[in-house]
């Protein structure tokens, strides 16, 4: 290259200074001057000689001096040498904030025009001191930052011409929620084929992909998640691949430039100095890995194939890293000879950075075998895993995690979501507690939209309920995930100089149903005119939780599968003491029949004989004295707890499956006669499927539901099409169908579904229903339809869209006019039913809302009523306000156990419009009424809870079963 180009390179000093050591004949300054006494020939010869020297030098020879007495050698200096040296210098830069980060006076995400905000009189959970620090005082937000916490002098506020004031009234303020595992914006909602960018299927190893390239800013879920307090999410590619690509950390606030890039918390991709100076600090990236069933299934491999794919990829990255290190070691010494180009490959650079510790590896991994595989691979290739996600068996092998390279991975879990696949079959609600006791970091995450991230704090609440300490539970959705993604320098804590991302809650964040009154992201309030519900003052305190130490020990003892069958009391008489309230079924409703009105000083006594309630009273009553020594009674202290009717679940496949993703453990799907040619013997004109024929008893989900107060369930045959069949009611504790009290009612409601599945059309489905109701059908199908027409069998229509519901209302009127009699119609699901509350009430139609907290998974659910703080009412309260009979259900078997929390939450959101008795009825008598199940109230189960009633964070300790004549001890 020309000398003038070479001279401009910024070589290291020992290279640059070699020009001074060149012999005079070769030094650039040694150009011979013309002298008049030289002849023309001499001048020509001199010029030729000098040209040859320059040509030789231009062929990249440079004399390098290594110091006094050192030997000389020549090296080849490439044209891009300075670029290569700059890359070499960057290889040693560690990730993290720049040294002057905490001197910033304005956030890099500050939006000009944002007013400063003063939040006064708050109870502040800062996240500091291991999550134990609580400050009572004020918070000043300005320029997108937290400027001050605690006592703020009025003189400090004088500088603000405009200052928004918020009176927290002593309520809780916490850092914004950080979701460590989300697919928000890449797994879009409503789900549409034109916006599904969560997985690539181009190969098992794809580290070069970036979630940012598929991030949709128009997802309907953003505002819902913000309303739940989520301020930051790690958006990851899906888990179809062993290495699925790079995730992005985003703030959920709508960006001013409306672009995906504008949502990035810190852009990690532009390292050329235009966004930040990578020489002073480097920004972490996030990488998604997955092991086990997902990549095995997608690529028709085995665990051995996936493990080899990991090793092959990391060996490629290791080779590139080693080549770079060798290159830079020589280049930094000026030894350019034979080096060639800087060794790099764009496809592999992110994986190379994993080996350099500059990428946070987030790994979807469930079972012990997979965890062990990945831990061995980390030690083989010397890289760390930031967190194992889902990780249902981590609590069984904490030492395996501790043997991972560098540091133990954190564990990102669901609180109770398990058993949906074989890998999650040993999932335990006690995992967070056990992992924390073993010194491992615990994170609760959503896997949005698997769980709606709006309710991520609910995961922390459940983890706390089952034994995770309160400070770690709240940290699990704030400080810990912020630390795991390498952003603990600016989010996850409430500290001066940190991003102004915080939540003002209407109750303690770990109290059931806790809802944001306001959410700030970058100092900007996100909720416009939020609807605030008044809640009991007691909810401002940290909730008391039961002791589950024994259950956790049993879980470990039985390798994650402890026995779940209750133990019947051996005594004929069981006496419950310290009872605060008793709720009983009476005339198709639930009523409070006893309450300790004078407080804990006068608790009640309930005596049960032969599985039947004998009497209720205070300790001095005849009821208490009815127990004699001859009874040899069992005494159960409820410690202020209550006795309530057992709950009834519907809407899920409970009783028809053990593991959802394993077909061999399921009853299977009903063939749809509108979509398939169904064999005459099965789906002919006279045949009709009954759920009772496919019931499975003793499933873990059913037994966990029983232990949580759900003593029976109503299940319909499972279908993805129009016609399902007849539902059945069964006991969740029974071992088989022939056991006394197992099958409560073999025929319940007649179930159909109306949904836009594409083929056949919604109009075709409604036409088919019209034909069934107005036509004549033979056999069992005809017999069931006769019951529907006569009003003895309810017609349960699984439906979501308000438009389809309107057509059903018209059809019901048409059919009743033609028949001259009323039919019973119940809508199940009914996300958009609130739009037609008045019309539904007028038509005499009942509604089972399932699930209770709506989410726009599909287009037909997008017009949901979100409830506080986004709307004053939710669908349940709106329908009840129009005198519609309402019940609640769930859509997956694992959620059945949480039914009592669902109805408690609904009652809390009603602002007092739903009493505790009415809330219990939502998931008991109302369900049975709407689905045609008749239960003798004297024979119905009762549930005893310790430390609170069924709607509190209490512990179910017994079930009274008059039907079976026993009291089961949980």
SS3 letters across 246-278: EEEEEECCCCCCCCCHHHECCCCCCCCCCCCCC
What is the pLDDT confidence band of residue 625, given thresholds at 50, 70 and 90?
confident
Q: How many CB atoms lie within 10 A of CB 345?
A: 12
3-state secondary structure of 860: helix
Predicted pLDDT at 598: 56
Q: Each residue of 765-815: pLDDT tens digit?
A: 999 999 999 998 888 899 999 999 999 999 999 999 999 999 999 999 999
* Cβ atoms of 82 and 271 closer than 8 Å: no
| CA pair distance 597, 580, nearest whole angstrom | 8
pTM here?
0.91
* Cβ atoms of 885 and 930 closer than 8 Å: yes
Instruction: Enumerate the H helices of 382-441 as residue ranges.
Output: 398-402, 431-437
Q: Which residues contact 678 (CB under 8 A, 6 or more apart)?
A: 671, 684
Name the least confident of 63-77, 411-425, 617-631: 63-77
Structure-block tokens of residue 91: 């290889």
Predicted pLDDT at 629: 61
Q: Do the domains at 177-540 and 647-939 have one common CATH topology? A: yes
| CA pair distance 252, 528, nearest whole angstrom | 15
| Domain limits, the chain | 177-540, 573-644+943-969, 647-939
- CATH topology classification for 177-540: TIM Barrel (3.20.20)
Burial class (CB in 10 A: 0-12, 13-18, 19+), 951: buried
Q: Which residues contact 13 (CB under 8 A, 6 or more apart)?
A: none
Structure-block tokens of residue 908: 């809390």
What length is written for the chain?
A: 970
Nearest CA to 584 out of 54, 944, 184, 53 is that of 944
What is the pLDDT confidence band of residue 32, given thresholds at 50, 70 and 90?
very low
Nearest CA to 847 out of 865, 821, 859 is that of 865
CATH of the domain spanning 647-939:
3.20.20.140
262, 407, 476, 693 from 411: Cα distances, Å: 29, 12, 10, 41
- Compute the average pLDDT of residues 372-382: 98
Nearest CA to 454 out of 853, 851, 131 is that of 853
Better-predicted residue by pLDDT, 677 or 219: 219
- Compute the average pLDDT of residues 705-723: 97
Give the strand pairing for 163-167 and 172-175: unpaired
Residue 965 has pLDDT above 70, yes or no: yes
Nearest CA to 247 out of 238, 259, 234, 260 is that of 234
Q: Each residue of 538-553: pLDDT tens digit?
A: 999 999 999 999 999 9
| CA pair distance 579, 947, nearest whole angstrom | 9
Instruction: Enumerate the H helices of 576-712 as residue ranges.
Output: 622-625, 680-683, 700-706
Mean pLDDT, the chain, whole residue set: 91
Structure-block tokens of residue 851: 């699930």
Q: Each residue of 6-20: pLDDT tens digit?
A: 333 333 333 333 333
Instruction: Give the containing element (helix H, strand E) for 637.
Output: strand 634-645
- Compute the average pLDDT of residues 369-383: 98
Predicted pLDDT at 9: 36
Q: What percent of the chain has pLDDT over 70?
A: 91
Q: Each residue of 90-137: pLDDT tens digit?
A: 998 999 998 899 899 999 999 999 999 999 999 999 999 999 999 999
* Cβ atoms of 717 and 723 closer than 8 Å: no
Predicted pLDDT at 60: 37
Residue 23 has pLDDT above 90, yes or no: no
Q: What is the DSSP string of 69-103?
A: TPPPEEEE--TTHHHHHHHHHHTTPPBS--TTGGG
| CA pair distance 497, 489, nearest whole angstrom | 9
Predicted pLDDT at 223: 97
Q: How many CB atoms lie within 10 A of CB 631?
A: 15
Q: What angle do CA 193, 196, 200 make, to 5 degrees?
A: 120
Predicted pLDDT at 279: 81
Q: Each residue of 206-248: pLDDT tens digit?
A: 999 999 999 999 999 999 999 999 999 999 999 999 999 999 9
Q: How many CB atoms lie within 10 A of CB 144?
A: 21
Burial 30-46 (b: 16+ CB within 10 A, else e): eeeeeeeeeeeeeeeee
């Amino acid at each position: 290259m020309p000398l003038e180009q070479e001279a401009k390179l910024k070589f290291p000093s020992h290279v640059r200074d070699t020009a001074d050591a060149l012999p005079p004949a070769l030094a650039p300054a040694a150009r011979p001057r013309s002298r008049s006494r030289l002849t023309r020939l001499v001048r020509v010869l001199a010029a030729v000689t000098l040209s040859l020297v320059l040509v030789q030098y231009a062929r990249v020879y440079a004399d390098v001096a290594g110091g006094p007495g050192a030997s000389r050698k020549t090296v080849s200096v490439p044209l891009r040498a300075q670029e290569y040296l700059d890359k070499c210098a960057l290889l040693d830069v560690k990730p993290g904030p720049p040294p002057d980060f905490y001197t910033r006076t304005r956030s890099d995400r500050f939006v000009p025009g944002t007013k400063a905000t003063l939040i006064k009189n708050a109870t502040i959970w800062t996240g500091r001191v291991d999550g134990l620090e609580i400050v009572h005082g004020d918070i000043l937000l300005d320029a997108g930052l937290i400027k001050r916490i605690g006592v703020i002098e009025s003189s400090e506020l004088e500088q603000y011409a405009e200052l928004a004031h918020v009176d927290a009234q002593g309520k809780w303020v916490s850092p914004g929620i950080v979701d460590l595992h989300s697919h928000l914006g890449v797994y879009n909602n409503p789900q549409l084929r034109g916006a599904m960018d969560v997985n690539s299927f181009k190969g098992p190893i794809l580290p070069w992909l970036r979630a940012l390239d598929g991030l949709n800013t128009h997802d309907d879920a953003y505002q819902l998640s913000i309303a739940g307090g989520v301020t930051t999410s790690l958006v990851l590619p899906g888990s179809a691949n062993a290495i699925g690509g790079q995730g992005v950390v985003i703030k959920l606030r709508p960006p001013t430039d409306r672009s995906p890039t504008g949502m990035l918390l810190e852009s990690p991709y532009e390292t050329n100095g235009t966004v930040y100076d990578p020489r002073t600090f480097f920004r972490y990236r996030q990488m998604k890995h997955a092991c086990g069933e997902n990549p095995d299934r997608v690529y028709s491999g085995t665990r051995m194939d996936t493990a080899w794919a990991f090793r092959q990829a990391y060996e490629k990255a290791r080779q590139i890293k080693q080549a770079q290190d060798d290159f830079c070691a020589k280049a930094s010494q000026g030894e350019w000879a034979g080096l060639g180009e800087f060794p790099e490959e764009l496809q592999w650079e992110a994986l190379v950075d994993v080996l350099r510790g500059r990428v946070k590896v987030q790994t979807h991994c469930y079972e012990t075998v997979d965890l062990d595989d990945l831990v061995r691979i980390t030690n083989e290739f010397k890289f760390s895993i930031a967190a194992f996600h889902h990780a249902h068996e981590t609590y069984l092998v904490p030492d395996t995690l501790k043997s991972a390279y560098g540091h133990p991975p954190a564990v990102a879990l669901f609180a109770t979501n398990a058993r949906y696949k074989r890998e999650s079959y040993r999932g335990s609600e006690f995992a967070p507690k056990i992992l924390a006791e073993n010194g491992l970091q615990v994170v609760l995450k959503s896997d949005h939209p698997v769980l709606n991230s709006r309710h991520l704090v609910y995961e922390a609440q459940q983890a706390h309920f089952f034994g995770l300490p309160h400070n770690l539970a709240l940290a699990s959705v704030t400080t810990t995930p912020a630390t795991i993604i390498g952003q603990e320098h600016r989010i996850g804590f409430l500290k001066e100089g940190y991003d102004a991302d915080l939540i003002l809650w209407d109750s303690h964040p770990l109290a059931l149903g806790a809802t944001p009154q306001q959410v700030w992201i970058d100092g900007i309030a996100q909720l416009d005119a939020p609807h605030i519900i008044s809640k009991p003052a007691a909810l401002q305190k940290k909730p008391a939780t039961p002791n589950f130490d024994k259950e956790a020990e049993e879980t470990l003892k039985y390798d994650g599968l402890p026995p779940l069958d209750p133990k019947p009391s051996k005594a004929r008489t069981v006496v419950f003491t310290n009872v605060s309230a008793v709720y009983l079924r009476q005339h198709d409703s639930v009523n409070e029949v006893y309450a300790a009105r004078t407080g804990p000083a006068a608790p009640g006594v309930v005596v049960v004989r032969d599985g039947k309630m004998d009497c209720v009273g205070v300790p001095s009553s005849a009821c208490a004295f009815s127990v004699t020594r001859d009874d040899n009674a069992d005494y159960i202290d409820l410690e202020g707890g209550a006795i309530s009717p057992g709950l009834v679940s519907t809407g899920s496949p409970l009783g028809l499956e053990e593991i959802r993703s394993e077909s061999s453990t399921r009853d299977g799907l009903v063939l749809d006669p509108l979509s398939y040619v169904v064999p005459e013997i099965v789906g002919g004109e006279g045949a009709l499927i009954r759920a009772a024929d496919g019931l499975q008893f003793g499933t873990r989900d059913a037994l966990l539901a029983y232990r949580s107060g759900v003593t029976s369930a109503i299940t319909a045959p499972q279908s993805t099409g129009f016609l399902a069949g007849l539902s059945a009611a069964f006991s969740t504790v029974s071992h088989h169908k022939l056991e006394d009290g197992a099958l409560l009612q073999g025929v319940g409601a007649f179930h159909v579904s109306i949904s836009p599945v594409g083929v056949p059309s919604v109009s075709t489905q409604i036409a088919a229903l019209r034909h069934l109701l107005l036509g004549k059908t033979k056999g069992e199908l005809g017999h069931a339809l006769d019951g529907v027409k006569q009003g003895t069998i309810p017609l349960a229509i699984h439906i979501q869209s308000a438009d389809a519901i309107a057509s059903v209302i018209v059809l019901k009127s048409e059919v009743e006019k033609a028949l001259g009699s009323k039919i019973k119609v119940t809508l199940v699901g009914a996300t958009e039913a609130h739009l037609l509350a008045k019309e539904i009430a007028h038509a005499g139609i009942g509604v089972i809302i399932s699930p209770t907290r709506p989410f726009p998974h599909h287009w037909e659910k997008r017009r949901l009523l979100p409830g506080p703080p986004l709307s004053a009412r939710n669908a349940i309260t709106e329908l009840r306000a129009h005198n519609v009979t309402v019940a609640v259900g769930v859509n997956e078997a694992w959620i059945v156990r949480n039914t009592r929390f669902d109805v408690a939450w609904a009652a809390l959101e009603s602002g007092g419009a739903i009493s505790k008795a009415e809330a219990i009825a939502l998931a008991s008598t109302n369900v049975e009424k709407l689905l045609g199940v008749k239960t003798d109230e004297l024979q119905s189960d009762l549930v005893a809870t310790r430390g609170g009633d069924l709607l509190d964070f209490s512990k179910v300790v017994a079930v009274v079963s008059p039907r079976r004549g026993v009291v089961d001890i949980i």
